[in-house]
Every structure is written in structure tokens, then in C-alpha cells.
Amino acid sequence: MNHVAPSPFDPSVPQVAALPAPLVARTVAVDPTDLPDDLLRLLPASGGLSWVRRGDGLVAWGEVARVRTDGSTRFADAERAWREASSHAVVRDEVRLPGSGLVAFGSFAFSDLSPAGGVLVVPSVVVGRRGESAWVTTITAGAVTAPTAELLNVQDDPVSPGEVRTRDGALDASGWRAAVSAAVERIRAGQVDKVVLARDVVATTTEPLDPRWVLRRLAADYPSCWTFSVDGLVGATPELLVRSEKGLVTSRVLAGTIQRTGDDDADLARAALLAHSSKDLEEHEYAVASLSRALEPFCSSTNVPETPFVLHLPNVLHLATDVNGVLAEPGTHPTSLALAEALHPTAAVAGTPTPAAVALIDELELMDRGRYAGPVGWLGADGDGEWGIGLRSAALDPDDPHRLRLFAGCGIVAASMPEAELAESEAKLEPMRHALRS
């Protein structure tokens, strides 16, 4: 049975700053053994949504409605629409786990100025798994629909995109090195302490791209990352912006990177170098301090480890810190989307001080990031949810199924070297490049 989902630009799907009322969600438990090991095998060829890590998470398809927002109020407008819809929703949930019941998937632009804006998508079917529990949710506008076993059918395998050609995006290698040099000069002049510069690469596929080809590759190669697909943004992010669950919040900060060699002994030595690198530790400290300051007003207590750990990914090693907190007023606390707005953009994707860093990004990158490095994830009717940072990602072209933009960014501090930062960006582009290969 094929799941037919409307296009993101289907005029039959509401795309206004409000959601239809009442939304009706019904969640039933299913036997986890009835689900494939890879939840992504349930997704249709188009219109699929995902948030999956180590085999657990959510996949969804179909649309009941979507909210599109713009500008500096894109988060607040989307949250207002979600709160209003949730307050009138009819939810029958026999599972009652994070991700069951009424949920929406979201993706938001990095910049207030980006025409990409923000979106919340309410799917018609959600399949979830968390440990030994699994469930199916159906969502409609005003009618009750019982989930059926047919919704768990495994779909046909995606077709290879064929030969993939790439070209420079806004800046070629020489231009990007020059941008890094200019950023270092501004830092040494005291205008900013750190700035994160990104670059894009345009990829063209021989065959129309089936997003599932990329998603399955990413999930298999990077199981410790959150593999996501929301409204044409696909990727596998290692960075959790915020998780809010029953009054507890968690955020994972990544800043400071070194490329792996493929030799285990050599990589252990490189991990030790990274853990003691003054340049990388400085970059990481800015990112952790930025996030902790943004989270503090919402929490009665926070736990910030004194030293980072080294996160091992197949292509790179990162300095990482997990920050945890307890929300100040459980029961009346902000939604996960409101927390994501408060934390975005972190120093890990913008720099510090943030306003000056964002202004320098606009000046030096010469491109619109779109939703790259913006929050991407999901939230439930109770406001809890998970939001990652849209890294290690690509934006699909809605007008050309053969075309997509790949992104990677690097944190620049006073000690940064343009050639080394270019090599780091190439390492960060590798996950998406590899996921596209036949």
C-alpha cells in the first residue's frame, strides 16, 4: 500500500498562521516486532517526515495542515498557532510517551531575514518507537480515524540518484578562505570573539532524488545522530538544541572539530589533541557559555560539566558538552519550541557576541542559509518535544527534483587558519556527499 502525501506546496493544504479546529488524534500501541528495524522503511517517496536516532523516534506522512511563518516572529507565531490548536484538540492516547498523541514537525530559518521562514507540519499518520514501546497515531481535522495494520506496510526501496555532480555555491574555495581571513581580522580587532562561517555546495543528480535514499544512508552511517526530514530539509545532526520532557531540559553543545584519519590508533591520538587544543577549547567555551546563559532564565537549576568530552563520529571528532536543567515552573513552563527560540542561534552556529556575529555572517557568507543551522524537530500537544540544529544537512529544491544545496560551517576564532577551516568544512560536507553516492 502506497502512502500518498501532498506536496509541500499543495494549495489544498492550509498554509496560514492558524490550524484547523478541532484536530483529532488517536494513538494506539502496536507490537514493536511489527515494525521494521529501520523506521524509515515506512516512509513514502515524497512528503515523509522523520526524527530518528539509533532506531527509535518518529516517522510520519500525509498532512492535515501546516503553518508557515516569517521574520523575527516566526517562532512565536508558530507556537501561538500550536497552543491554540492543542487547546481545542481531541486526543485519545493509550501510550502516553513522548511523541505519542498529537504532534507536529517543524523547521525554522536561521535568520530573521530569510524568506525560508518557519513551518509546522501536522501529519496524518505518525509511527513511533521508544525502547520496548511502539505506537501508531492518526490525526484528522474533525473526525476520528482508527489506525490500521495497513499503515505499517514497508515501502519499496528508493531508487539511486545516479551520478551526482557538485559545484561551488555562493563562494568557491578561494573566496571562502578569504572570508575566513576577513573574519579572523575582525576577531583580532575586537569586533567579535567568535563567528561561525558556513559555505554551500550545489549538487545535481542524474535521476530525480528520492529523499529516502539519503535518509537511510545517513541513519545507517551516523546512528548516534538525529536523522531528520522536514519540509525539504534533510540531514543527520549530531547537535541537540533542546529536549524538553516533563520539566527537564537537555541540550548538547558541539564546538571544536578535527577530521578523522580512519586509523583507530591515530584517531585516539587526534582525540587527545582535540581535548587539549587551546583553539578548540576556546571555541567550545564560547558555545557552552552562550547556551547556558540563554537557558538559565527558564530553569531553577542547571548542570554544566566543567570539561567537554570527545564525540566520535565516522568522519570527525567533536568536543561536546551535555547541559541539563530543571524548568522553574513545571506545569506552566514554556514549550520546547519557545525554548528553541530562546536558545537560537547559539554560539555554536552563529558566534559571540551573537548580534555582531550574525551581522558579520550576513556580510561575509554572501548567501542565504535558509533553514540550515536553524531549529528542526517536533513538539507534542503538551509542548514537550525535541529540536536539533539543522546541521550536516541539505535543502531540496522544490522546483527541481535533481537539485539540492549541501551546507557545512566552521567556528572561527583568532587562532583559526583559512586552509585548516576549509579542510574542516570539506570533512563536514562528506556525510551528505556520501549519502548521495550510488
Catalytic residue annotation: 194, 239
242 vs 100: CA distance, rounded Å: 18
Residue 127 near residue 59, CB atoms below 8 Å = yes
Instruction: Of 411, 390, 392, 389, give the one whose Cα is nearest residue 240.
Output: 389
Instruction: Of 169, 170, 163, give the one whose Cα is nearest residue 209.
Output: 163
CA distances from 307 to 138, 282, 303, 323, 388 (A): 44, 12, 12, 11, 22
Residues near 96 by beta carbon (within 8 Å), at least 6 away in sequence? none
The DSSP 8-state label assigned to residue 372 in this structure reads T
Nearest 5°: the CA angle 283, 72, 359 is: 40
314 vs 219: CA distance, rounded Å: 12
Instruction: Of 172, 198, 8, 185, give the one whose Cα is nearest residue 111.
Output: 198
Residue 29 near residue 69, CB atoms below 8 Å = no
Residues near 30 by beta carbon (within 8 Å), at least 6 away in sequence? 134, 135, 136, 147, 152
Q: Are strands 385-389 and 118-122 parallel, antiparallel or unpaired?
A: unpaired
Residue 373 near residue 390, CB atoms below 8 Å = yes
Set of cell numbers at residue 325: 536543567
Alpha helices in 28-70 (DSSP H): none
Instruction: Of 154, 140, 146, give the one whose Cα is nearest residue 94.
Output: 146
